[in-house]
Chains A and B, each alone.
Chain A
């Protein structure tokens, strides 16, 4: 006797779902069964949304952020300050910066960082277009908002060297103590950086 299993169509869906990040075989099975059995499932709508998102969303051709047009909302927004550029590693790094409401310039996403141990070199990143933009858009300041780990630091150093030679002011995010934490919870590397990046408390600000 042949052992029964789900019909092929259902198994295909389970197989596809299993490939998604964070979804194991059990969850894949549950989702697939729900799509088939539940009245609220709206499987058509899910399928349509997925297929649309993949055809419509692509990287902004200027900055690499998510967009449905050639230029993303940020690059297309004329009220943005065109003289300041903020360089980040990933498109997902843009949103935390946006949520602060403290930055009104535009962005450039590298798509990663230089990491020899992961076989990622400068040519694998959007560094060429960054140089081009810097030349054409004549920024007064380029802010490097990269990670504070070894690779993030190295990438910042690499970019700073190139950009400084183009006579643009290069800055990087201050590094140091997390807001709301005491000195006793910080490691020496952090304290050392916080110390070297210390800021003056001017008399009038008190």
Chain B
């Protein structure tokens, strides 16, 4: 049995009361007019495999209006994945066995999500770039999730304490050791991931741009060289601003084409760079696990002319399973075989 997403069932998910569909091994096109839930189907596939949405950081807005919770259910290869989410509780099952934690569940399938808003990776805030890094890092190393969560909890606790009147410094200090321990790991994992991503993204960039420009990805630690020292030095500033001003939550990624920051690159160049980053992430996961992740392509063809659409499809590994949303199919090169999933 191939490791592909074979079926997907939704209940009370976004605009869907109930929906189910099957997928083929290769190219799947979800076709239909706007506002029929094409993107929601991709989002559901992503949530089923990764328990997080590529569109929003919290899952509550995914629940259909006036419903308690949603269900996503599907088969990936032989594995049966089920996830129920409501504001009060989450339930996970793998092959009909309830899972106390998500670790084994998240080992089943991996995903790279391409979206027409990917250009935010270059133009948007650092938050967008950190989310991208973490989305890949958790897939590469499942246990990274623990460090990320511990860091988030320690950081939010410390920030809340810094907002107290008067600030109780002994309590603030008590949260610093867990903050430092988790924070150091988060920085390490992210730095390592960027080092692995760099050559893959550069190689992908050369292929899709056909240019000789070198793409460089740089990781800038928000914790500086030494997190403990940085935290110590920032204590006055933290007290004044009533929040933690240094740490991995301030990490940044910078991209350079032949040494020039992509901030000032043309839109076309920026789009090529973000595409190269996603393809790089795909290669990285492929190399690490010996199989291509599921590729979700949300409306990425909208801005491209017909020649470029087909060129993009051509750079994606032909053997990989792809779910693509599009408003119509007329443009697709005639030789391509696609499983068509009509909506609306």
**A interface with B by C-beta (< 8 Å):** 114-117, 121-122, 149-151, 153-155, 157-158, 161-162, 186-189, 192-193
Contacts and interface: CB of A to CB of B under 8 A. Distances in A.
B153 interface: yes
B174 A114 contact: yes
B244 to A, nearest CB: 13
Contacts of A161: 170, 173-174
Interface residues of B, number: 24
A172 B174 CA distance: 15
Interface in B155-190: 156-157, 160-161, 168, 170-171, 173-178, 181-182, 185, 189
Given A149-B150, A189-B150, A154 B182 contact: no
A155 B154 CA distance: 12
13 contacts: A116-B160, A117-B157, A150-B150, A150-B175, A150-B178, A153-B177, A154-B157, A157-B176, A158-B174, A161-B170, A161-B174, A162-B170, A186-B143
Contact of A157 (B157, B161, B177): B177
Contacts of B157: 115-117, 150-151, 154
Contacts of A122: 171
Given A117-B153, A192-B185, A187 B175 contact: no
Nearest to B146: A187
Interface string B171-211: 10111111001100100010000000000000000000000
Contact of B178 (A117, A153, A192): A153
A115 B189 CA distance: 27
Contacts of B189: 188
B181 A189 contact: yes
B174 A154 contact: yes
A117 B185 contact: no
B147 interface: yes
B12 to A, nearest CB: 21
Nearest to B154: A150
Contacts of B174: 114, 154-155, 157-158, 161
Contacts of A158: 170-171, 174
A157 B173 contact: yes
Interface in B125-159: 143-144, 146-147, 150, 153-154, 156-157
A141 B170 CA distance: 22
B173 A189 contact: no
Residue among B160, B170, B173, B174 having the largest count of chain A Cβ atoms under 10 Å = B174
A161 B160 CA distance: 21
Per DSSP, chain B at the interface is helix
B308 to A, nearest CB: 42
B223 to A, nearest CB: 16
A161 B168 CA distance: 14
B143 A187 contact: yes
Contacts of B177: 153-154, 157
Contacts of B185: 188-189, 192
Given A150-B154, A154-B175, A116 B161 contact: yes
A51 B325 CA distance: 63
Interface string B324-340: 00000000000000000
A193 B177 CA distance: 12
A192 B144 CA distance: 13
A187 B178 CA distance: 15
A192 B306 CA distance: 52
A150 B148 CA distance: 12
Contacts of B168: 121
Residue among A150, A155, A158, A161 having the largest count of chain B Cβ atoms under 10 Å = A150
A189 B146 contact: yes
Contacts of A186: 143
B141 to A, nearest CB: 8
Contacts of A117: 153, 156-157, 160
Contacts of B170: 158, 161-162
A38 B181 CA distance: 58
Contacts of B176: 157
A193 B171 CA distance: 22
A188 B150 CA distance: 12
Contacts of A189: 146-147, 150, 181-182, 185
Across the A-B interface, the 10 shortest Cβ-Cβ residue pairs: A187-B143, A158-B174, A157-B174, A154-B174, A116-B160, A153-B178, A150-B153, A116-B157, A154-B175, A150-B178
Given A153-B177, A157-B177, 18 more contacts: A116-B161, A117-B156, A121-B171, A150-B150, A150-B175, A151-B157, A154-B177, A157-B174, A158-B170, A158-B171, A161-B170, A161-B174, A188-B144, A188-B147, A188-B189, A189-B146, A189-B147, A193-B181
Interface string B42-71: 000000000000000000000000000000
B155 to A, nearest CB: 9
A188 B182 CA distance: 10
A202 to B, nearest CB: 28
A42 B166 CA distance: 57
